[in-house]
A and B are shown apart, each in its own frame.
Chain A
Amino acid sequence: MHEMAITESLLRITLAEAAKAGATRVTALHIKMGAYADIVPTILREYFAIAARGTAAEGARVEIGRIPVTMRCRTCGWQGPVDKLHIRCGGCAGTDLQLLTGREFYLESLEAE
C-alpha cells in the first residue's frame, strides 16, 4: 500500500523535471532501485499508469533497473556483492561491513518529447 505514496512522489518529480526541460510529453521513466527497497515494481507501474492519467506522463513506460547489495569489510578491506539475507565478508567472512550500494531508489532519467 505504501507504493501509492511513493507513486505520487514519483509523478510529482517527473512532471516538475519535464516542465523544467520544456518537454510536453514524457514517454519513459528510468528508475534505479537497490535490492533493499521493499517496493513491488508491478504495483508501482500499475499505480503510475493510473496516477499519470490526464498528465504529460500519461502512458509513459516505467523501467526499473535493480542495484545489488555491495559492502566493504572494515576488517580486511574486501569489497563486493553480499547476500542480504546472509551478510558476510567475501574475503574474511567477518560481519563488520559497511554498505556501499543497495539502498538506492531514485529517478535516473526521463525520455520525453
Chain B
Amino acid sequence: MEITVMHQIMEWNEDVSAAVKATLDAHKTCLINVMGSPGAGKTTLLTALIATLRPRYRIGVIEGDIAGQIDAEKIADLGIPVVQLDTDGACHIEAESVRHMLPHFDLENLDILFVENIGNLVCPAEFNIGESFRIAVLSVPEGDDKVQKYPLMFSTCDGLVLNKYDMLPYFDFEDTRVEADALGVNPSVAVFRVSARGGAGVAELAAWVAAKTDAALAAATPAQKAENTPTKEEPPCA
C-alpha cells in the first residue's frame, strides 16, 4: 500500500523553535543567533558588542561549545549573565537545548539574549533556535572563498561580519568578492567590516544590531497569539 504522509522532517525542531520565540516574545527578549567558524572571533565580537550595547540593553549570553567553558568565563568576567551549553559532541545547537537554558535567565530583565553557536559553517544554519535574527561571522584569515563553499549559512543570515578586517594587508582576501558572493546568495544581507579586537567598525555594527533588536521587540506578539500562528520558515531574501 501507499501511505500519504506529507510530514515536515524538521518539525521537532521547528515547533520548539516557535515555542522558544513565543516565550521570548512574551518577555520582550530578542534572541540573536551568532554563527561562524571556530576562531572567527565570535566571542571577541560579542565582548565588543556587549560593551557598546550594554548602556542601552540588558544582555544575556548562551555560550555554545562542544566541550568546556572557556568562552562562558570570558563573558562572565564582564558581569553579564551567561550559561554554557555544551553539546557533548554535537555539531550544532537545537531549539530544545535553548529551551532548557531559558529558565537560567531572568527574562523579565533581559532585552537581548545572544546565542554563540557551535563553531561550524555548515550544520548550525539548518536549525532555527527561536532567533529574531542571525549574524554570521567570517574572519579574513579564513579566506575569501567561504561564501561560495558554504552558501547556506550566508543565505540565511541577516548580517555578515567580516572580522579581523585589520588583517587584510596580510592575506589574499578580496573583501569585495566576499561581499558580492554574499549578496548573490542573499541580496538583503547587511555586510560589516569589523576588527572586534581593535574596535574598528564595532559602532556601526552595534547600531545595526540595536535597530534590528528594536524592530524585533516592537513586533513581538503576545505568547498566546504566537503559539497559534503556524510556523513558517523565513525566506532567505525576504
The reply to whether chain A is a binding partner of chain B is yes
- With a cutoff of 8 Å between Cβ atoms, the chain B residues found around residue A50 in the complex are none
Q: Mark B101-127, 1 if CB is under 8 A from A, else 0.
A: 000000000000000000000110111
How many A-B residue pairs have C-beta atoms within 8 angstroms? Tell me. Answer: 108
**Separation of A38 and B185 alpha carbons in the complex (Å):** 14
Q: B50-58, B87-95, B161-169, B216-224: which lies at the A interface?
A: B87-95
Do B155 and A1 have beta carbons less than 8 Å apart?
Answer: no
The residues in B between 61 and 112 inclusive whose CB is less than 8 angstroms from any CB of A are 90-92, 94
Contacts of B1 in A (CB 8 A): 21, 23, 111-113
A39 and B155 alpha carbons, distance in the complex (Å): 15
Interface presence of A105 (CB below 8 A) = yes
Which residues of A from 78 to 99 have beta carbons under 8 Å from B?
A: 84-87, 95-99
Nearest CB in chain A to that of B4: its residue: A109
Tell me whether B172 is interfacial, beta carbon within 8 Å: no
Could you tell me the distance in whole angstroms from the C-beta of A21 to the nearest C-beta in chain B? Answer: 5
| Pairwise interchain contact A84-B125, C-beta atoms closer than 8 A | no
Q: Say yes or no: is A9 at the interface (Cβ < 8 Å to chain B).
A: yes
Give the residues from 39 to 59 in chain A that come closer than 8 angstroms, CB to CB, to chain B: 39
B187–A97 CB distance below 8 A: yes
Bound state CA distance, A38 and B91, in angstroms? 14
In the bound complex, what is the Cα–Cα distance between A84 and B236 (angstroms)?
A: 10
Is A13 on the interface with B (CB-CB < 8 A)? yes
Partner of B126, one of A2, A86, A98, A113: A2
CB distance from A5 to the nearest CB of B (A): 7
| B contact residues around A12 at 8 Å (CB) | 12
Check B237 for interface membership: any CB of A closer than 8 A.
yes
Task: Please measure, in the bound complex, the distance between the C-alpha atom of A112 and the C-alpha atom of B92, giving whole angstroms.
Answer: 34
Contact A1:B9 (CB < 8 A) given known A84-B151, A87-B184, A95-B237? no
What separation, in Å, do the CA atoms of A99 and B3 have in the docked complex?
29
Q: Does A63 contact B (CB under 8 A)?
A: no
Given contacts A9-B11, A31-B9, A110 and B152 within 8 Å (CB-CB): no
Q: List 12 A-B contacts (CB under 8 A).
A: A1-B91, A1-B92, A2-B122, A6-B9, A23-B1, A38-B122, A84-B185, A85-B148, A103-B235, A106-B7, A107-B6, A112-B2
